Amino acid sequence: MSPAAKPRKAKAPRNATAPRKPAASRATTISPQIPLAELHCHLGGSVTPAIMWGIAHAQGIRLPSKDYWAFRKMITAGSQRTRSFNGYLDLFHWTELIQSSPLAVERSVYEVVAGAYRKNHITTMELRFNPMKRNRNGEQDLDHIIAAAIRGADRAALEYPVKPGIILILDREFTLRQNEIIVEKAIDWASRGIVGIDIAGRESGSFKVAEYRRMFRAARKAGLGITVHTGESGPVSEMLEVVKQLEPDRIGHGIKAATDVKTMKELAARKIVLEICPTSNLMTQVVGDWEEFRQIFAQLRAHKVRYAIGTDGPEMLQTYIRDELAALGRHGILSVEEQQIAAATSIKASFVRDAASAAVPRSAGAAAKVSRDEG
């Protein structure tokens, strides 16, 4: 071998393979950069316990316990006592009492809207509440309560690039006249930030869907969006009646539709959007498990029923929209593409005007993951 010659590298045997790079894990949920809209969020279940604790003490409300951790347990779901539909509704007793003043409502709305943007990049937040459950049985003026909610939303919109809106809730256990007053107030404040009306509450034999047809038509004529809690714990027959009598744009929960082809066809034909809150439905046991949810979404998919994903109450249920989407992805119920469609549907179906204008992807400088400390 001459001094200039270089030794040849031995060739690798043909059957030898180069070490493989570990395969990248396949994403099962949408990017945290994607903006979201929260369409189903109750004010009473959406304020962090620490803030609720502070609001209660600022107002001098006598709480059952002076221990913060006992208080936290009292207003969050998870214990056996909350694992039913009525048990879950009982949690709202204390949150509604604590929020029963203009100052408390304003602070609560501000904290929810601002916190949702920081934690989850929610650019459109619809918050719903019943003003009559926050006026201390008539001691507080309804207009002051509603105006306070709008101030809280406006303040959050000044500080963050968000589009908030307020939905006023009627109650199944209220008299027709009480609910009529709430609708009248919603119409009066429609130009100021009230974007829709809803009916919620426990099942009541005195509640007759047809009696609300006239007032819901008046609300729609005033430009308000219509959503109704139905098809959750009650019979699917009521849901079909709500669709035909009240003509809602959206339905709160509505999971019972998956058991009735006629109802699903009606929803699809009318392009009604379901506001589905998985963790809430599992907590109240109106849905047994994730496998039942798989069947529900399979039926909705087969019948082309539109839906958005919500939380019902992120702090009370200790879950955020991105947690809900991640769980649906992790269980193989919704693909990433289907989650993206649900996110886009929520923005399109929002009652907030120009919601799409706020739906800007999260900035590059923001945290890559959802923060649970940005309270």
pLDDT at 82: 59
- Is there a domain that residue 158 lies in? yes
Q: Residue 12 — very low, low, confident or very high, per pLDDT cuts 50/70/90?
A: very low
Whose CA is closest to 45, among 118, 123, 133? Answer: 133
What average pLDDT score do residues 39-62 get? Answer: 94
- pLDDT-wise least confident of 66-80, 95-109, 261-275: 66-80
How would you list the strands of the sheet with 225-230, edge to edge? 36-38, 122-129, 163-171, 194-200, 225-230, 250-253, 273-276, 306-309
pLDDT at 374: 45
Burial class (CB within 10 angstroms; exposed 0-12, middle 13-18, buried 19+) of 203: middle
Q: What is the CATH number of the domain that holds 52?
A: 3.20.20.140
Q: Residue 247 — very low, low, confident or very high, per pLDDT cuts 50/70/90?
A: very high
What average pLDDT score do residues 42-63 get? Answer: 94
Q: Residue 15 — very low, low, confident or very high, per pLDDT cuts 50/70/90?
A: very low
What average pLDDT score do residues 272-277 get? Answer: 98
Burial class (CB within 10 angstroms; exposed 0-12, middle 13-18, buried 19+) of 18: exposed
C-alpha dihedral sign at 326, 328, 332, 337: negative
Q: Say whether pLDDT at 71 is over 90.
A: yes
Q: Say whether pLDDT at 59 is over 60.
A: yes
Mean pLDDT of the chain: 89
Burial class (CB within 10 angstroms; exposed 0-12, middle 13-18, buried 19+) of 110: buried
Please indicate whether residue 116 or residue 7 has the higher confidence score (pLDDT). Answer: 116
- pLDDT-wise least confident of 37-41, 84-88, 188-192, 247-251: 84-88
pLDDT at 370: 53
What average pLDDT score do residues 96-115 get? Answer: 95
213 Cβ contact list (under 8 Å, min separation 6): 245, 246
Structure tokens belonging to residue 238: 């009521």
Please indicate whether residue 21 or residue 59 has the higher confidence score (pLDDT). Answer: 59
What average pLDDT score do residues 320-344 get? Answer: 96
CA-based diameter of the chain, in Å? 107
Q: Which phi and psi (to 5°) does residue 37 adopt?
A: -120, 135
- Is there a domain that residue 354 lies in? yes
- Is there a domain that residue 106 lies in? yes
Distance CA 110, CA 46 (A): 11
pLDDT at 244: 96
pLDDT at 27: 81
Structure tokens belonging to residue 303: 């019948």
Please indicate whether residue 91 or residue 294 has the higher confidence score (pLDDT). Answer: 294
- Is there a domain that residue 192 lies in? yes
Distance CA 85, CA 244 (A): 25
Distance CA 216, CA 226 (A): 8
Q: Say whether pLDDT at 372 is over 70.
A: no
Q: Say whether pLDDT at 1 is over 60.
A: no
- Tally of structural domains, the chain: 1
pLDDT at 14: 46
Q: Residue 85 — very low, low, confident or very high, per pLDDT cuts 50/70/90?
A: confident
- Is there a domain that residue 372 lies in? no
Show the domain range for 187: 39-358
Q: Say whether pLDDT at 290 is over 60.
A: yes
- Is there a domain that residue 2 lies in? no
Distance CA 359, CA 375 (A): 21
Q: Say whether pLDDT at 25 is over 60.
A: no
Whose CA is closest to 332, among 306, 374, 288, 294? Answer: 294
- pLDDT-wise least confident of 95-104, 262-271, 318-327, 364-373: 364-373
Strand residues in 140-223 grouped as ranges (E):
163-171, 194-200
- Is there a domain that residue 120 lies in? yes
What average pLDDT score do residues 350-370 get? Answer: 77
Q: Residue 20 — very low, low, confident or very high, per pLDDT cuts 50/70/90?
A: low
Q: Say whether pLDDT at 162 is over 60.
A: yes
Q: Say whether pLDDT at 261 is over 50.
A: yes
Distance CA 199, CA 171 (A): 6
- pLDDT-wise least confident of 2-11, 113-122, 305-314: 2-11
pLDDT at 87: 80
